[in-house]
Amino acid sequence: MKTKKFILSMMNFKKHLAIAAALLLSLAVTTQAKIYTWDKYNIAFEAPEGGQVPFSFFQDPNSAQVEWDEMVMTLQRYIKNENTNKKNLNERLKSRALGFNMYDTKLLEIKVKGFKCYSLEGTMPDGTRCLINYLVSDKTSTVLEVVINYLLGNQEVVEDIIKSFSENNNQKPNEREKPKQKIQKKEDAEKQEQELKREKRRKNEKTYEC
């Protein structure tokens, strides 16, 4: 599979090409998804096609961002220390959620080969969803914070992205049994949201009748 470097900002392409080529993410095309690699840290993950990386994130070697029309993912790399443990990371997840003013939050267990994964999901003030993750490498000092802001029907896609994260010299994502890589459109999310609200009202009406 042929891999090529990619840049989000197409403005002043020639001017920034040398900088971008030396830095973060590259991608390779698959049937419904693309393989993104963070070459410096041998990190790879698989995510839907169409993701772009804002040029501003090429300025920081420890962070990156991928944007789709209906989804945004940010990455931040940290180094393990004596405070890198389950208790502290779960507290950090709650603190990050509080900083986003998230509600209806809950901790999740997502299994990721090669990492210990700590996750929290919830609803953002604008009604969109957010999944916050800390991936602690089993092999190196890397700790990845992965935050994905997405629409209601994209939870399976988002969790599949997290499960695909890998850290190896081959820079291939983890294999999954049934990859989920199709992003829900905004109009479909709005219809789903309305249906959930109607269902909730029907349940409340039945409870009141009883």
Domains in the chain (CATH in brackets) are: 4-209 (3.40.1000.10)
Three-state SS for 133?
strand
> pTM of whole model > 0.85?
no
What are the angstrom distances between the C-alpha of 75 and each of 54, 146, 149? 13, 5, 12
What are the angstrom distances between the C-alpha of 161 and each of 78, 107, 155? 20, 17, 10
In this structure, are residues 62 and 77 in contact, taking their beta carbons and an 8 Å threshold? yes
Q: What is the pLDDT of residues 50-66, one digit of tens each?
A: 778 775 555 678 888 88
pLDDT in tens, the chain (210 residues): 444 443 333 334 333 333 333 334 544 433 367 888 888 889 999 888 877 877 555 567 888 888 988 899 999 999 999 999 999 999 999 999 999 999 999 999 999 999 999 999 999 999 999 999 999 999 999 999 999 999 877 888 899 999 999 998 887 888 776 555 555 455 555 555 566 556 666 666 666 665
Give the span between the Cα atoms of 10 and 54, in whole angstroms: 10
In this structure, are residues 138 and 114 in contact, taking their beta carbons and an 8 Å threshold? yes
